[in-house]
Amino acid sequence: MKTTHALAAALLAGLSLSACSEPPAPPAPPAPPAPQVAADASPKGFIGRQVDKALDEARKELRSGNISISDGFDININGKEVHDGNSGLPKAEITPQGDLLIEGRTVSVTPAQRQELLAYRGRIIGIAEAGMAIGSKGADLAGEALGGVVGAIFGGKEGEQAFEQRMEAEGKKIEGEAMKLCALLPALLSSQQALAASLPEFKPYARMTQSDIDDCGKDVKGKGVAVTSN
């Protein structure tokens, strides 16, 4: 039986996403909305609902807390990693108000630089939230796959094949959604470069390159997606 293959297709989309942030800061202008993920009209299963609750909390923390840029972020899309790490640099964060903190010290910025900091922060949050949305769908599919194994077995060979085909098709849909994250990277790079050119203190933390975008998701299907901000 190939049900295990179907489960793998479902589980590949169970995203690993973490966003570490400082305690909540005072309210600030909202970040740009996360890119839309294809809608799913079917009701969520138990696992999907529980994951959604956890992700809602993660979104709140992400938007209200400081975004760390000193350790960078990792975006793993179907096995291809885009890493913006800055190991060894002083701790640096962007606050919800658009302040740049380096080792807890507020860097003096102009109004224009503050807007650039907020734009860059918003891009990072947008990618993370898009990953969360895909992860929610993947987790729900994984739960559906696990719950449907018994029914598929008792449905005979025909039932097994139908179940397997459906799981594989749904897994491929989610994999396709994950690949769309690559399309968000050019705007992130552009925002990072503009900020690096404008604000010297930020420049050491701008490590993303065009090659990261060119290689995103290339020839590495079936490995899921993860977005982590350290």
- Order of strands across the sheet with 80-83? 16-19, 225-229, 73-77, 80-83
107, exposed or middle or buried, with CB in 10 Å at 0-12, 13-18, 19+? middle
What CA–CA distance (Å, rounded) separates 204 from 202? 6
pLDDT of residue 74: 63
pLDDT of residue 175: 75
Residue type present at position 91:
K
Spell out the long-range contacts of 4-9 with Cβ–Cβ below 8 A and sequence spacing 24 or more.
5/164, 5/168, 6/145, 6/163, 6/164, 6/166, 6/167, 6/168, 6/171, 7/142, 7/145, 7/146, 7/149, 7/167, 8/171, 8/222, 9/167, 9/168, 9/170, 9/171, 9/172, 9/222
Looking at 65-182, list the stretches that DSSP marks H as alpha helix, in order from N- to C-terminal side.
111-154, 156-179
Over the chain, what is the mean pLDDT?
A: 72
pLDDT of residue 155: 61
Model confidence at 143: pLDDT above 60? yes
Residue with the larger pLDDT of the pair 121 and 219 = 121
Count of beta carbons in the 10 Å neighbourhood of residue 230: 16
**Most confident option among 52-66, 76-90, 118-132, 166-180:** 118-132
pLDDT of residue 24: 39
* Residue 22, C-beta contacts closer than 8 angstroms, at least 6 positions apart: 65, 66, 93
pLDDT of residue 5: 39
pLDDT of residue 194: 96
Model confidence at 55: pLDDT above 90? no
Average pLDDT over residues 161-167: 73
What CA–CA distance (Å, rounded) separates 12 from 177? 12
pLDDT of residue 206: 92
Nearest of 225, 219, 228, 214 to residue 183 by alpha carbon:
214
Question: Which residue is it, tokens 């909540």?
Answer: 24
3-state secondary structure of 158: helix
Q: Which range, of 8-12, 69-73, 134-138, 207-211, averages the lowest pLDDT? A: 8-12
Give me 10's structure tokens.
Answer: 């479902």
Dihedral angle of Cα 205, 229, 97, 186, to the nearest 10 degrees = 60
Residue type present at position 117:
L
Model confidence at 86: pLDDT above 70? no
